Homo-oligomer: A and B are copies of this chain.
Amino acid sequence: MATKVANQPLFPMPFPAIFFIFSIFFGFGITLSQAASQTRHFKWEVEYMFRSPDCKENLVMGINHQFPGPTIRANVGDTVVVELINKLSTEDVVIHWHGILQKGTPWADGTASISQCAINPGESFTYQFVVDKPGTYFYHGHLGMQRAAGLYGSLIVDLEEGKKEPFHYDEEINLLLSDWWHESVLKQEVGLSSSPMRWIGEPQSILINGRGQSNCSIGAKYMKNMEQCKLSGSEECAPFILKVKPNKTYRIRIISTTSLSALNFAIGNHKLLVVEADGNYVQPFLTSDIDIYSGESYSVLINTDQNPSQNYWVSLGVRGREPKTPPGLTLLNYLPNSFSKLPISPPPETPKWNDYDRSKNFTYRILAAMGSPKPPVKSTRRIFLLNTQNKMNGGYTKWAINNVSLTLPSTPYLGAIKIGINDTFDQNPPPETYPENYDIHKPPPNGNTITGNGVYRFQLGEIVDVVLQNANTLNDKHSEIHPWHLHGHDFWVLGYGEGKFSAAVDETKLNLKDPPLRNTVVIFPFGWTVLRFVADNPGVWAFHCHIEPHLHMGMGVVFAEGVDKVGRIPTHAMACGGTAKALIQNPTQKP
């Protein structure tokens, strides 16, 4: 089945042509043979370990002594069963399966305070869910900032056995990207919650599959004031090398679970053909580099058609914030070259961090592949979510949505709503819009931001438009990029724009033809993004900025739909707080 690309000339032209042919030829997931779906069992212990992910020893949160955690691979239709055992001493834990829709199993979404009671030290919880869509996903902690402590791993869903992707590749490589601080996550968290707030600053390193370098670089000769790393390859911080054979096509799955950083990914001399975003096929397009925000995943194809006697840089740099982190570097290692053979030219340079036009240009190119599900033509509900940075009483810095900064309750919403107790969170939903005269180009007027834990409730099946509206932060003429991630759904990204969204002006410009389906989408500085989804998945779902410190500071909302249609919630998911109390005192409320 190997595509003959050996004698092909350089990109860009012939490469996409071949892909399109394959697309047309195979369509999406044509069945060649049908295999029965499987149940894939995993038994995981979560614990802290001493590791040196960037050559400096630190604590990382790992699974079964691994960091990042083990990669799950399953086929569409499989049931994944993870028995998660909390081996931490004093901390609770949960794991969220990022991008998995959890249809029929909302209690397995792994969000503390939302879908389940966090797992206490010594306890275990069994996540069981069906993976019903092929794609590149991941999993991560979703309590406090445990993701930033290293609790993450990849989750790859292949097509059913015998089915083929709508593009060809010979082999694949999986890259899980993260950023890493030397300061403990506990100190980061407490600093963010302090008055005055102590910002976490820029990361000390970018990790590729849990490996990076902070105080040296493998590309030091191209940098100022940086030492060349002396690594044998066996160190915990030795780079993860992309070993490839010449003249093959590789699918590189790229996942970003960064705590903060927007990254730019490029490979020297090799163009990238983007084919998948967040587990959805996109119209393939060629690019020299991709921007990837926290919570996103991409698949890109490369042809290893360059001079096979050389290796090539794989480069990751920070965008969207003024970078103070050395680029994450590793090698595309053409076998049988030694991986210690450094490229002859410098690593690809990360585009200027604040060249937002370039960022937008990339993002706007992501469109749904032919044959993708189309959005309903009209929404039945529209909510506006204004993103602001605010100061609360006492000088605490918060992020707020429509002036409400999310503080999660201790009793999970899902169980509370299901059994009908109403004293564990605010029963008043938060505002669905913000004052018309709000000036998004000015720092927020002070004073009336509140913390809250109310829920946006949707009718089951409701077609919801969300207008994410960005605004000025607390600093003059300053606005940041935020990648928003929705649990339990993919959504169509109908459009992006500058300034304040105006229904009258902007409505007509929305893309209903080929909007991409995603689970994570950015809002650009001072801009807006409109997304649409069908509230057809009974459960309670987080929708939040995927930047870990921003969520910690309240940048999220909670959606609920059709909770009365949710099946029997496992007792363990409700055995805490108000739901435990209610269930113990009043067994008639049993799920």
Hey, which chain B residues are within 8 Å of A408, CB to CB? 122
Q: By the criterion CB–CB under 8 Å, are A90 and B89 in contact?
A: no
**Which listed residue (B92, B187, B198, B552) contacts A121, Cβ 8 A?**
B92
Q: By the criterion CB–CB under 8 Å, are A584 and B587 in contact?
A: yes
Number of A residues whose C-beta is below 8 Å from B? Answer: 46
Distance of A416 from chain B, by nearest CB (Å) = 13
Asked if A11 is an interface residue, CB under 8 A from chain B, the answer is no
Hey, which chain B residues are within 8 Å of A193, CB to CB? 89
Distance of A56 from chain B, by nearest CB (Å) = 13
Q: By the criterion CB–CB under 8 Å, are B576 and A120 in contact?
A: yes
Distance of A420 from chain B, by nearest CB (Å) = 16
Which A residues between 144 and 171 are near B, CB-CB below 8 angstroms? 144-146
**Which listed residue (B59, B93, B191) contacts A186, Cβ 8 A?**
B59
**Known contacts A184-B184, A575-B584, A584-B583: does B122 contact A48 (CB below 8 Å)?**
no
Scan A70-97; emit 1 where CB is below 8 A from any B CB, else 0: 0000000000000000000111110000
Asked if A581 is an interface residue, CB under 8 A from chain B, the answer is yes
Closest to A124 in B: B410
Scan A91-132; emit 1 where CB is below 8 A from any B CB, else 0: 111000000000000000000010001101111000000000
Hey, which chain B residues are within 8 Å of A118, CB to CB? 90, 120-121
Q: By the criterion CB–CB under 8 Å, are B48 and A186 in contact?
A: yes
Hey, which chain B residues are within 8 Å of A325, CB to CB? none
Q: By the criterion CB–CB under 8 Å, are A190 and B587 in contact?
A: no
Asked if A360 is an interface residue, CB under 8 A from chain B, the answer is no
**Known contacts A122-B409, A184-B184: does B90 contact A144 (CB below 8 Å)?**
yes
Whole-angstrom CA separation of A583 from B408 in the bound complex: 26
Scan A554-591; emit 1 where CB is below 8 A from any B CB, else 0: 00000000000000000110011100110111010010
Asked if A50 is an interface residue, CB under 8 A from chain B, the answer is yes
Whole-angstrom CA separation of A248 from B49 in the bound complex: 55
Asked if A143 is an interface residue, CB under 8 A from chain B, the answer is yes
Asked if A278 is an interface residue, CB under 8 A from chain B, the answer is no
Asked if A276 is an interface residue, CB under 8 A from chain B, the answer is no
Hey, which chain B residues are within 8 Å of A92, CB to CB? 90-92, 120-121
Asked if A189 is an interface residue, CB under 8 A from chain B, the answer is yes
Q: By the criterion CB–CB under 8 Å, are A187 and B59 in contact?
A: yes
Which A residues between 41 and 81 are near B, CB-CB below 8 angstroms? 47-50, 59
Hey, which chain B residues are within 8 Å of A59, CB to CB? 186-187, 190
Q: By the criterion CB–CB under 8 Å, are B50 and A190 in contact?
A: yes
Distance of A7 from chain B, by nearest CB (Å) = 54
Hey, which chain B residues are within 8 Å of A117, CB to CB? 120
Q: By the criterion CB–CB under 8 Å, are A576 and B575 in contact?
A: yes
Which one of A93, A408, A580 has the greatest number of beta carbons of chain B within 10 Å? A580
Hey, which chain B residues are within 8 Å of A309, CB to CB? none
Hey, which chain B residues are within 8 Å of A194, CB to CB? 49-50
Q: By the criterion CB–CB under 8 Å, are A577 and B145 in contact?
A: no
Closest to A91 in B: B90
Hey, which chain B residues are within 8 Å of A121, CB to CB? 92, 118, 143-144, 410
Distance of A413 from chain B, by nearest CB (Å) = 13
Distance of A110 from chain B, by nearest CB (Å) = 14
Which one of A120, A143, A145, A190 has the greatest number of beta carbons of chain B within 10 Å? A120
Whole-angstrom CA separation of A206 from B83 in the bound complex: 43
Whole-angstrom CA separation of A186 from B576 in the bound complex: 25
Which A residues between 179 and 201 are near B, CB-CB below 8 angstroms? 184, 186-187, 189-191, 193-194, 198
Distance of A388 from chain B, by nearest CB (Å) = 23
Distance of A411 from chain B, by nearest CB (Å) = 8
Hey, which chain B residues are within 8 Å of A184, CB to CB? 184, 186
User: What is the interface of chain A, defined by CB distance below 8 A to chain B?
Assistant: 47-50, 59, 89-93, 113, 117-118, 120-123, 143-146, 184, 186-187, 189-191, 193-194, 198, 408-410, 552, 571-572, 575-577, 580-581, 583-585, 587, 590
Q: Which 4 pairs, one residue from A and one from B, show the smallest C-beta to C-beta distance?
A: A122-B410, A90-B144, A89-B144, A575-B580
